[in-house]
Structure 1
Amino acid sequence: MAKITATEVNNLRKSTGAGMMDCKNALVEAEGDFDKAIEILRKKGQKVAAKRADRDSSEGAVIAYVNDANNEGVIISLNCETDFVAKNDAFVALATQFASTAVNYNSKEGFLNADFGGITVSEKLIEQTGVIGEKLEIGSFEKVSGEFVGSYIHAGNKIATLTVLSANVEGADAVAKDVAMQAAAMNPIALNEEGVDASVIEKEIEIAKDQLRQEGKPEAMLDNIAKGKIKRFFKDNTLVNQDFIKDSKLSVAQYVKTIGDVTVTDFKRVALV
């Protein structure tokens, strides 16, 4: 039997994230062969992943990540089975590492096939399933690009947002983050009126008309009054028209204009609730 040193066990642990005893046992089984020990641990991960494939992975960490040029951003969710794992610092660190890789890809499929320390992201998920003992998967993948991208991650890593501004000007960083915080807190359904699906508008009009009928309003007045209610619906539910949470005298669009001729061109919001 090969003699396994504490240094070898520690190096394997750093490489794979597996527990000390798992690493020691893998090295013993591999007779000290480091690469073979890694394969043993990965096969263990595959077995665990197969057993837990039908488990619900509704917990996890949502991470927003923006590249150094501030012109591309991504939100991913690394999903797991329990809140206990989701709150673990090492789990959140892994999610952040995944996000820093994901920002270089335009699709979830491309990201899952990306290199991650010599293996693919998909293979890393399987490996870490064996380490952690829970089903792990990438849930959401949202990518944006533009002149300036800002981000916000709410405490607890359950909500993350990205916002895109039309220009990279002085103050863009603070404003983009403020708007991202707005999106996290107020959960708008669209950027502006044009982004609201026609079926949603039709449904809101019908609801408004029904309410007005119950109030006894004449049928001839319903269309005009309903239009006013729809304007209110847009104000409450579209990002640029919402009252800015830090200064309700301004809409979000007006707040963004305080740094120049700038508009919000896109946003993404991902939440695990």
Structure 2
Amino acid sequence: MAITAQEIAALRKKTGAGIMDCKKALMEAGGDFEQAIDLLRKKGRKLCMDRAARQASEGAVFAAVSSDQQEAFLLVLNCETDFVARNEQFLQLGNAILAECVAHRPDSIETLLQLPLKDGVVQDAIMEAIGVIGEKIAISAYETLRGTIVVPYIHTGNTLGVLVALQGANAAQSEAVGKEIAMQIAAMHPVAVDETQVDPALVARETAVIQEQLAQEGFTGFKAEKITQGRLHKFFQESTLLQQPFVFAQNNKLTVGQYLQSLALTVTAFKRVQVNG
């Protein structure tokens, strides 16, 4: 049977599939619109299985904040090439998924994949996109953060995102200050806000490395312990947000903690994600 241009256009608008894929699906379905949609979805599922073992090391980071600015969301959607990472349909998919996250507040990627989207769930939409775009697409990271005020930040290139939770007297300044602190986190990659929030396993691992180095250098006993504490102190200075030199301060003479204290603001938590991170 003959398939009209209008039918192809309608199916393409509905699914986002290519013209030839839509025509082929309609012909195979004998002109049945719903069956053609199912055929395109099955194609996406087959491609998804075929590409399951492939690397999806490119992609984009998406960020959103609730209307009251007390909760924000980060999503990393991966693909195989940077060309697709800039593709309008890929970006639309990421934004659509993130909008569902804001609306439903899932607590994990597994829950996120079952959120409603279009005529199915997020997992279905991803598989359909795989069928249309022809690359492996997957969610590799999803983070949320709550606070008095949460500021989202996407670094240039859309491959790195940060959320910063702030509280304090100068709430009016929070957005501008939050962006500065987020840029600090993006550039300097702290592991925690302060020493008390550093994972004990990380501290133990760092201590073991230092002690091994000192043993090789011939230090033992009290002297080795003193040097260990000094090097751990340096580790905390470099790796915790509040002790890091503030990158926007002249000559780096101000720490992030000192800068925030001068504004009567406090960072309570942060999240940092990046593509292939």
TM-score (norm 2): 0.88
Deviation, 1:64, is 2.2
Q: Report if the CA contact (8 A) 2:159-2:274 is conserved.
A: yes
| Aligned residue number for residue 175 of structure 2 | 173
Which consecutive unaligned segments of at least 5 residues does structure 2 have?
none
Higher alpha-carbon deviation: 151-160 or 163-172 = 163-172
- Of the candidates 243, 259, 273, which is equivalent to residue 255 of structure 1? 259
| Aligned residue number for residue 151 of structure 1 | 152
Whether 1:268 aligns to 2:267 is no
Higher alpha-carbon deviation: 187-196 or 210-219 = 210-219
Q: Report if the CA contact (8 A) 1:172-1:259 is conserved.
A: no
Which consecutive unaligned segments of at least 5 residues does structure 1 have?
none
Whether 1:220 aligns to 2:222 is yes
Between the two proteins, what is the percent identity of the paired residues?
A: 43
Whole-angstrom CA distance in 1 between matches of 2:210 and 2:3: 77
Whole-angstrom CA distance in 1 between matches of 2:18 and 2:260: 49
Deviation, 1:156, is 1.9
Higher alpha-carbon deviation: 136-145 or 215-224 = 215-224
| Aligned residue number for residue 129 of structure 1 | 130
Deviation, 1:211, is 4.9
Q: How does 1:1-273 map to 2 (within 5 A)?
A: 1-6=1-6, 8-103=7-102, 104-167=105-168, 169-209=171-211, 211=213, 219-247=221-249, 248-260=252-264, 262-273=265-276
Deviation, 1:244, is 1.2
Whole-angstrom CA distance in 2 between matches of 1:155 and 1:217: 46
Per-residue Cα deviation, 1:3-29 (whole angstroms, up to 9, x for no partner): 4233x3333223222112212222333
Distance 1:110 1:213, change over 3 A: closer
Q: Report if the CA contact (8 A) 2:3-2:23 is conserved.
A: no
Distance 1:75 1:213, change over 3 A: same
Q: Report if the CA contact (8 A) 2:65-2:151 is conserved.
A: yes
Whole-angstrom CA distance in 1 between matches of 2:55 and 2:198: 31
Higher alpha-carbon deviation: 184-193 or 100-109 = 100-109
Whole-angstrom CA distance in 2 between matches of 1:211 and 1:3: 73
Higher alpha-carbon deviation: 83-92 or 123-132 = 83-92
Matched residue type, 1:139: S
Q: Report if the CA contact (8 A) 2:76-2:139 is conserved.
A: yes
SS at match of 2:171: coil
Q: Report if the CA contact (8 A) 2:3-2:26 is conserved.
A: no
Per-residue Cα deviation, 1:133-188 (whole angstroms, up to 9, x for no partner): 11211111111111111111122222111111125810111111111111111111
Matched residue type, 1:134: E
Distance 1:110 1:210, change over 3 A: closer
Matched residue type, 1:34: F
Q: Report if the CA contact (8 A) 1:13-1:20 is conserved.
A: yes
Per-residue Cα deviation, 1:65-112 (whole angstroms, up to 9, x for no partner): 222221111211111222332232332232222222223322222211
Whole-angstrom CA distance in 1 between matches of 2:248 and 2:157: 22
Q: Report if the CA contact (8 A) 2:163-2:270 is conserved.
A: yes
Q: Report if the CA contact (8 A) 1:57-1:79 is conserved.
A: yes
SS at match of 2:254: strand
SS at match of 2:124: helix
Deviation, 1:243, is 1.2
Whole-angstrom CA distance in 1 between matches of 2:261 and 2:99: 30
